[in-house]
C-alpha cells in the first residue's frame, strides 16, 4: 500500500521557512516591504517565497504605468524571491521526490499542496505575523488554476479593498 504524503509535516516546514524568510526580509527592508507571497508552479514541484518592496513597486509602475496593477499583484514581477533559501530548497526537493513517485494521484496532490500553502499563510495572517497592510498572496506561475480559486485565496488572506482590487485585476487579465 502506498504511504500517504505527510502534508502536516510539509505545512510545518513551510511555516518555519516562511517565518524565517519574512524575518530576514524585514531585517533587510523593514517598512519598505509591501507584499509577500508563497508561489508554486502548475507542476506542484516548488514552493518559493516572493517579496515586493514599495521602492521596487513604485519604480516599476513609473516606468510602465500601463501595467501598474501587474507590478502590484503578479508576484512574478516583484522585487525578490530570496530568504530562507536552504529551507525552501529542501521543500522543493521533497516535492520533486514525491512527484517522481509512481502511482501518485497528481491532481489530489497538487490541490493539497496549494491548500497547504494557503493554510500556512492564513494561519500567519490570523496571528498578525504579517503587518495588516501587507499584501499576502499564494500565486502559481503558468497555471490553469481557476480564477475563482485564486480570488478565493486572496480574499482569505487580505482585508477587503486589497482582495477586491486583486479580483478586478485578475478577472480583467483573463
Contacts of 109 by beta carbon, 8 Å cutoff, 6+ apart: 5, 44, 98, 99
Structure confidence at residue 160 as a pLDDT band (50, 70, 90)? confident
Which of 1-10, 95-104, 125-134, 163-172 is predicted least confidently?
1-10
Which of 43-57, 99-113, 114-128, 142-156 is predicted least confidently?
142-156
CA nearest neighbour of 72 among 85, 83, 57? 57
The residue with cell 513517485 is: 101
- Structure confidence at residue 142 (pLDDT): 77
Instruction: Report the chain's terminal Cα–Cα distance, integer Å.
Output: 42
Strands of 21-147 (E only): list them: 33-41, 48-53, 135-141
Say how many C-beta atoms besides its own lie within 10 A of residue 100's C-beta.
9
- Structure confidence at residue 174 (pLDDT): 57
Query: For 33-92, how does the pLDDT look when each residue is reduced to its tens digit (9 = 90+)?
Result: 999 999 999 999 999 999 999 999 999 999 999 999 999 999 999 999 999 999 999 999
- Structure confidence at residue 1 (pLDDT): 46
Residue 100: phi and psi, rounded to 5, are -75, -10
Say how many C-beta atoms besides its own lie within 10 A of residue 11's C-beta.
17
Contact 45, 140 (CB under 8 A): no
Contact 151, 162 (CB under 8 A): no
Amino acid at each position: 500500500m502506498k504511504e500517504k504524503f505527510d502534508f502536516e509535516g510539509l505545512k510545518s516546514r513551510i511555516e518555519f521557512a516562511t517565518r524565517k524568510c519574512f524575518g530576514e526580509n524585514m531585517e533587510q527592508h523593514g517598512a519598505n516591504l509591501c507584499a509577500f507571497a508563497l508561489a508554486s508552479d502548475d507542476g506542484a514541484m516548488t514552493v518559493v517565497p516572493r517579496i515586493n518592496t514599495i521602492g521596487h513597486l513604485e519604480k516599476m509602475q513609473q516606468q510602465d504605468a500601463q501595467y501598474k496593477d501587474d507590478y502590484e499583484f503578479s508576484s512574478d514581477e516583484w522585487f525578490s524571491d530570496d530568504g530562507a533559501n536552504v529551507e525552501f530548497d529542501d521543500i522543493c526537493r521533497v516535492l520533486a521526490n514525491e512527484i517522481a513517485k509512481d502511482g501518485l494521484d497528481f491532481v489530489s496532490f497538487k490541490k493539497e499542496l496549494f491548500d497547504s500553502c494557503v493554510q500556512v499563510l492564513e494561519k500567519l495572517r490570523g496571528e498578525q505575523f504579517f503587518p495588516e497592510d501587507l499584501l499576502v498572496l499564494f500565486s502559481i506561475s503558468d497555471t490553469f488554476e481557476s480564477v475563482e480559486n485564486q480570488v478565493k485565496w486572496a480574499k482569505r488572506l487580505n482585508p477587503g479593498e486589497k482582495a477586491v482590487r486583486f479580483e478586478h485585476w485578475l478577472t480583467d487579465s483573463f
